[in-house]
Structure 1
Amino acid sequence: MPRPALALPPWIAHALRTQRGPVPWSAVVRGALGAGPLLAVAVLAGHASVGVVAAVAAMLAGVADRPGSRRAAVRRLGVPAVAGAAGLVLGTYGGELLGAVGLSVLFAVVGLAAGGVSAIGPVASTAGTQLLVASAIGAGMPLPEPGWQRGLAYLAGAGWLILLRLALPGPGSFAGDFRFDGEREAVGAAYDAVAALLDAAGTDLATARRAALTAALDHAQDALAGPRLRRYASSAAERRLHAQYAAALPLAEAATALAWTGDAVPARAAEGPRRLAAAVRAGTPTGPLPAPTRSAPALRALDDALLHAAEAFDRADGGDLHTRRRSPKALARTVLGAGGREYGLRVGLCFGASAAVAQALHQARWYGEHPHWYWLPATAVFLVKPDLGPLLSRVLCRAAGTVLGAAVFAALAAVLPRPDGLIALVAVSGALIPVATRHFAAQTGVVTVLVLALVMVGGEPQAAAGRIGETLLACVIVLLVGHLAMPGQHGGGVRARLGAAEEATHAYLTHVLGEPHDRAARWLLRREAYRTLAEARSAIALASAELPPLARHSAGTEKVAGALERLVDATTACAVHLDDAGALTPRDTRQLTGLLDELARLRARRAG
């Protein structure tokens, strides 16, 4: 009898997990042309310190450079760059005007604010990270330029990578309009996800395929967000993309309703969405679309959605259903709520405490003056960010990656010519970052090599050993702060995400029962419900992979998220039935009532 496979604890399994996928060659090229060439030009011009700042900005932008559309990249890379430049200026003048105590207090306050804002989402989190890292660099890195010049150099470095992102072709760039390759791929993937869900209807794969459809629609929504690349000349292409995305929403609704009923769907039902996906990617007309049978409300809805898609593709008028509407009041609740407060307190405490410890060691005679004291708070910023993974996983990966990267750099620095060899090493490291981001330890190792090379090009001695020491000390500080009791409760981020998902779910249900014929508003509410649920699921998965003392604070949230997802699925099926018959069936009413009762029981159990 075979022995059962050994199941690793979640906190170990997460540290060993690696993302998979094809090599992002376009991002590799951008990485190679980013920090290295900037540094080379600055060295040739006799301004190596300016080149170091610009290269740091390009490196951080490269870490944030993810697959997607060009328009989304402007916001995803540009907003953090502005925050980083502001942080560099703030840190520079703070370091000049304040003593060690004052600077530590300033860092704690800035960390508190940046941590709270980071709870809004990925772009805000990246902006908070760059703000804090650049603040530490500005305060501690010995550079001859004044603060405002450092800020401009930082913006130039990040702006160079954004320019490369806008100008260089990517996969699929030569099918249709060059500027919209990322948008076309994202919208085409949404149609493919609809087809995959239809194939899985009536099987055990339906739940996973519905989650994949949510992720695909989220990605398409993000790909269409951001500024227009050309305001007037691109208007027709803009409208066509919006129409293609909008036409996917009723298809997704019908496919979800079919999956909820649990009945198998005729194989030809998925052929129409696949043809639409091919038309989006190739920029061609849809051609004839096979119609499914119309024997059930959801099948009739699927047929109508296919006809609507064919008309929408030709008409090229889809409105702004891709826009995610979040009011300033809702964003303020996120920042000031339980998740934002806990996030901000831990980031502020880690950033301020690590700066105080670093400066105390920097000034201690027995320790010996250490010019890179800013490494300690900068490292703590990355380690304390919960959206980068569970706490212990982050610490283990950071420590392992730093040790490996420092060892590799020490070996290379002994043989490479200076500065040409080091500049080449920066370029190679920049090219490796898009691949290394699949695992935090690998990313840390590559970034360590790049940073150590930049330090030497800037005229400082080789500092691999100091880098290891600062990182290990930061790991200890973050582990201590991460397990401290804070005002309120642990798990505030999970509770906040789950609360937002519950609020969005009830808003969707209320609209379907009260105003079922306003379909555009219904689709927007349905998208927000599924999107917030996906965000809650991600937060729960990270929390469950923490060490048991931390993971227990999120116990039971998985069941609540599951009940909310079933409620949204059932509401979607009810919306389709209301479109078809104008009234709910007794079975629909029983399902909704049962799911609401289950959700109330789960909430009461968690509260007790």
Structure 2
Amino acid sequence: MTAPTIPANRAPADWIRAVLRVAPAQFPVGHSLRAGLSVGLPFVVGVLLGQTLNGMWVGLATLLLAAGEREGSYRLNFSIIAVSTPIAACGYLLGFAQNLPLPALVLIAAVVAFAAGAIAGLGSAFSVAGMQFLLVAAIALGVPHVDWWTAMGLYFVGGVFYALLLAIEMLVIPRRPQRIVLISLLGALSDLAAARAADLADGGDRTVAARRQATSAYQNAVGRASELAARPSWSTRVWVMDGEVLSAADRVQAFLVAASDAAAVEAARARLSALASEVAATARSHRRDTRPTTPPADSGSTVDLLGRHTDELDRLLHSGGPAKTPHEPLLTMTLSHEVMMAACRLSLCYAIAVAAKLYFPFSHWFWVPLTVCLVMKPDFGSVFSRAVLRVLGTAVGAAIATVVLLAVPKGWAIGLVIGLLSACVPYLMMRSYALQAVAIAPAVILLVDVIQPGDASANFSIQRIGATIMGGAIVLVFGYLIWPHSRRVWISETFATAMNRIADHLQLAASPIPDSPADAARRHDDLVGARRAAYSALSDLQFRLRRALAEPGVGGRTAAAWIPAVSAADRLADLVTAYAGQRHEGAIPADPISGTEMAWEISEAGGAPDRPPAEINSCDPDGPLTGISGELAHLTSLVEPVEADR
């Protein structure tokens, strides 16, 4: 393995900034309206009909579904509802076990928590289902004197109600998920073109950051393209998003990175910006005769490859016809070692939290396991920072709930407040984990307040804060500190994978182009696949880096030390892409020997070579691989061999 030199200290302000980082996000109008209506309306109707408790059970179900909804396709979110609703509803069955001896209760909690953590490896829907099951189970274990069959049935009512609201949005705006990511993709490509043109003009280094954004936008679009086809008659006159369109966009990105003609890049930028504006305009008008005019390509722009691929993207975007994108399977079956280890940590912490019935002397002890399962979800980022943010956010949320309970009369007015808080959840959970807790905590407190009404209900907020601190402490000690595996940042392994993928891309790019059209097409497909694999591995590396930066101590210092090397790897990948573009144009000859040798050097710099050593010759100082060689030398100077991340 390799790693950079790790500094002895890291400024506390750097870690605090990483933990409290607020991500940019657009306000999800449909999701927020659906969350507010689905949670607040059942509560208000229940109050007006004298069935407040039943309204609360429905609202609790829809609150969990709103928090579990992803900013993805309708197909994904319907699958989440279909999978998570029956699994989560079964959590109420643990209510029948709440009077068992505590050792038996703790054992049952450990088993079900392990199962809930393990099924996270089956896909997004099962990951959400596992979390919701544990949340419901925590309430069922801690709230006495409830008809759990009724609560289970009303959870299904909440699931149907939430699915109905989602279906209404799908009928009104059938392709909203695709439109959002398509606008983002075209905008990111336009930004990449602007950055590339600026770099060609003044020799700057803006392309790498812009290409990262374009890669992320492309990957998001690929995920949304698995949506079930929903093509109104006007769609063939407006725009289409399918696998062919995304492949064309990917080719445009590659040739933007490889471009050396500033005028051609600027022309591509103008056209991509116009295409993004056109797709955005369809959100406001679906009339057949309302297609904004996209500026045509210059008469000479189709002569160069960038212009031709931009033309192709424009043509495919307006091609119409049936969708050509295969649907992704809902079941992924990736029960990896990491998933199993996370399930073990979750099982231990959840069992200890359920034992709070013995050592937490308050009626709402069940908020301890509830907090644990929220914090411990393995797909939410750093465990340590989640625990810190959960405590901070819940403390603020509990204070909000206390003010509401003291100031707002009991009854339907509380339901309006619950609806408003729930409407904020989708946006806030996109911005920050702490902000998400600020909205969810008071909504849950106000909902559960119905179970034990009266003047003392405001004290539940104090209990919630105490239980949250207790749950956070359990997670930090038994889910983090005692597990060396969980404190490793794993950047060196991910870095090695990315370097190997870059090496594969370079070796293919340097190979001769076969004379046979069929063989040439196969080589081209392999080359495109290698480039996508390299950029995908670099995206995984960036994700791992951001996640590790939120860790305290040596984990955060290790991540901070990797930043220059990761940036150099991005630049190296872009240089390889530029080299592949020159080879595609026939501007430079094949050089399989030098390409193979340098590919091995790249893999060796990653610390995990997957090819046998070759005799290394010095690079021709005037050759086409000079730039790659120079960046590789710079990258190598930033890392050194180590056993593993410390």
Which category describes the TM-score, using the shorter chain as reference length? 0.7 to 0.9
Q: 1:184 to 1:477 in 2, by over 3 A?
A: same
Q: Quote the residue 2:343 is aligned against.
A: 344
- The more displaced of 493-502 and 80-89 is 493-502
SS at match of 1:459: coil
Tell me the C-alpha RMSD between the 2 structures: 3.9
Among residues 369, 373, 382, which one is paired with 2:365 in the alignment? 373
Deviations 1:417-453 (A, max 9, x none): 2222322221221122234322322321222211111
Q: Quote the residue 2:181 is aligned against.
A: 186
Deviations 1:72-117 (A, max 9, x none): 433455544444234344x335546x53222322322333333344
C-alpha distance in structure 2 between counterparts of 1:346 and 1:288, whole Å? 56
Is 1:469 equivalent to 2:466 in the alignment?
Answer: yes
Q: Quote the residue 1:225 is aligned against.
A: 226
Q: Quote the residue 1:3 is aligned against.
A: none
Give the deviation of 1:194 after TM superposition: 1.2
- Could you tell me whether the CA contact under 8 Å between 1:14 and 1:393 is conserved in 2? no
Q: Quote the residue 2:114 is aligned against.
A: 112
Q: Quote the residue 2:635 is aligned against.
A: none
C-alpha distance in structure 2 between counterparts of 1:592 and 1:53, whole Å? 63
Q: Quote the residue 1:440 is aligned against.
A: 433
C-alpha distance in structure 2 between counterparts of 1:570 and 1:137, whole Å? 55
C-alpha distance in structure 1 between counterparts of 2:392 and 2:244, whole Å? 46
Q: Quote the residue 1:92 is aligned against.
A: 95
Question: Which one-letter code corresponds to 1:276 in the other structure?
Answer: L
- The more displaced of 400-409 and 512-521 is 512-521
- Could you tell me whether the CA contact under 8 Å between 1:491 and 1:553 is conserved in 2? no
Q: 1:410 to 1:189 in 2, by over 3 A?
A: closer
Q: Quote the residue 1:145 is aligned against.
A: 147
Give the deviation of 1:322 after TM superposition: 6.8
Q: Quote the residue 2:319 is aligned against.
A: 315
C-alpha distance in structure 1 between counterparts of 2:536 and 2:90, whole Å? 31
C-alpha distance in structure 2 between counterparts of 1:53 and 1:7, whole Å? 46
Give the deviation of 1:555 after TM superposition: 7.6
C-alpha distance in structure 2 between counterparts of 1:503 and 1:565, whole Å? 13
Q: Quote the residue 2:5 is aligned against.
A: none
Give the deviation of 1:12 after TM superposition: 0.9
- Could you tell me whether the CA contact under 8 Å between 1:254 and 1:302 is conserved in 2? yes
Question: Which one-letter code corresponds to 1:551 in the other structure?
Answer: G
SS at match of 1:483: helix
Q: Quote the residue 2:211 is aligned against.
A: 210
- Could you tell me whether the CA contact under 8 Å between 1:71 and 1:224 is conserved in 2? no
Q: 1:537 to 1:31 in 2, by over 3 A?
A: same
Deviations 1:266-290 (A, max 9, x none): 4222122223223333453765521
Question: Which one-letter code corresponds to 2:335 in the other structure?
Answer: V
- Could you tell me whether the CA contact under 8 Å between 1:184 and 1:241 is conserved in 2? no
Query: Where do residues 372-391 of structure 1 align in structure 2 (5 Å cutoff)?
Result: 372-391=364-383
Higher relative contact order (CA 8 A, sep 6+): 2
C-alpha distance in structure 2 between counterparts of 1:143 and 1:516, whole Å? 72
C-alpha distance in structure 2 between counterparts of 1:118 and 1:239, whole Å? 41
- Could you tell me whether the CA contact under 8 Å between 1:111 and 1:132 is conserved in 2? yes
Q: Quote the residue 1:543 is aligned against.
A: 548
Give the deviation of 1:378 after TM superposition: 0.9
Q: How many residue pairs get matched?
A: 575
Q: Quote the residue 1:290 is aligned against.
A: 297
Give the deviation of 1:306 after TM superposition: 2.4
Is 1:406 equivalent to 2:401 in the alignment?
Answer: no
Is 1:27 equivalent to 2:28 in the alignment?
Answer: no
Deviations 1:32-76 (A, max 9, x none): 212111122234444433322221221122223454543443345
C-alpha distance in structure 2 between counterparts of 1:235 and 1:607, whole Å? 60
Deviations 1:103-158 (A, max 9, x none): 322322333333344367655543332232122223323363334x4333223324
Query: Where do residues 132-531 of structure 1 align in structure 2 (5 Å cutoff)?
Result: 132-142=134-144, 144-147=146-149, 149-168=150-169, 178-201=173-196, 202=199, 203-228=204-229, 237=235, 243=241, 246-260=244-258, 264=262, 266=264, 267-283=266-282, 284=291, 287=294, 289-291=296-298, 300-317=304-321, 320-321=324-325, 331-332=332-333, 334-337=334-337, 339-356=338-355, 358-361=356-359, 367=361, 370-437=362-429, 438-460=431-453, 462=457, 463-486=460-483, 490-491=487-488, 517-518=521-522, 526-527=531-532, 529-531=534-536
SS at match of 2:270: helix
Question: Which one-letter code corresponds to 2:278 in the other structure?
Answer: A
Q: 1:7 to 1:429 in 2, by over 3 A?
A: same
Is 1:54 equivalent to 2:58 in the alignment?
Answer: yes
Larger radius of gyration: 2
Give the deviation of 1:487 after TM superposition: 7.3
- Could you tell me whether the CA contact under 8 Å between 1:419 and 1:457 is conserved in 2? no
C-alpha distance in structure 1 between counterparts of 2:353 and 2:267, whole Å? 61
- The more displaced of 572-581 and 491-500 is 491-500
Q: 1:531 to 1:72 in 2, by over 3 A?
A: farther
> What are the ranges of 5 or more consecutive residues in structure 2 without an aligned counterpart?
1-9, 283-290, 514-518, 609-640
Question: Which one-letter code corresponds to 1:181 in the other structure?
Answer: R
SS at match of 1:179: coil
- The more displaced of 43-52 and 567-576 is 567-576
Q: 1:301 to 1:243 in 2, by over 3 A?
A: farther
Give the deviation of 1:257 after TM superposition: 3.8
Q: Calculate the TM-score normalised by the size of structure 1.
A: 0.81
SS at match of 2:449: helix
C-alpha distance in structure 1 between counterparts of 2:566 and 2:329, whole Å? 22
- The more displaced of 32-41 and 111-120 is 111-120
SS at match of 1:204: coil
- The more displaced of 199-208 and 11-20 is 11-20
C-alpha distance in structure 2 between counterparts of 1:387 and 1:592, whole Å? 38
Deviations 1:353-409 (A, max 9, x none): 1112x12236xxxx3xx3322211110112223543434432332222222222232
Question: Which one-letter code corresponds to 2:605 in the other structure?
Answer: R
- Could you tell me whether the CA contact under 8 Å between 2:240 and 2:318 is conserved in 1? no
- The more displaced of 269-278 and 570-579 is 570-579
Q: 1:557 to 1:129 in 2, by over 3 A?
A: farther
Give the deviation of 1:208 after TM superposition: 0.8
Deviations 1:141-176 (A, max 9, x none): 3363334x433322332442343233248xxx9xxx
Q: 1:25 to 1:336 in 2, by over 3 A?
A: closer
C-alpha distance in structure 2 between counterparts of 1:222 and 1:128, whole Å? 22
- Could you tell me whether the CA contact under 8 Å between 2:106 and 2:352 is conserved in 1? yes
Identity %: 23
SS at match of 1:144: coil
Q: 1:488 to 1:278 in 2, by over 3 A?
A: closer
- Could you tell me whether the CA contact under 8 Å between 2:500 and 2:602 is conserved in 1? no
C-alpha distance in structure 2 between counterparts of 1:71 and 1:603, whole Å? 41
Deviations 1:310-364 (A, max 9, x none): 43244325854575589x7xx54x4222x223322222221121112x12236xx
Q: 1:193 to 1:341 in 2, by over 3 A?
A: same
- Could you tell me whether the CA contact under 8 Å between 1:199 and 1:265 is conserved in 2? no
SS at match of 1:517: helix
C-alpha distance in structure 2 between counterparts of 1:135 and 1:255, whole Å? 47
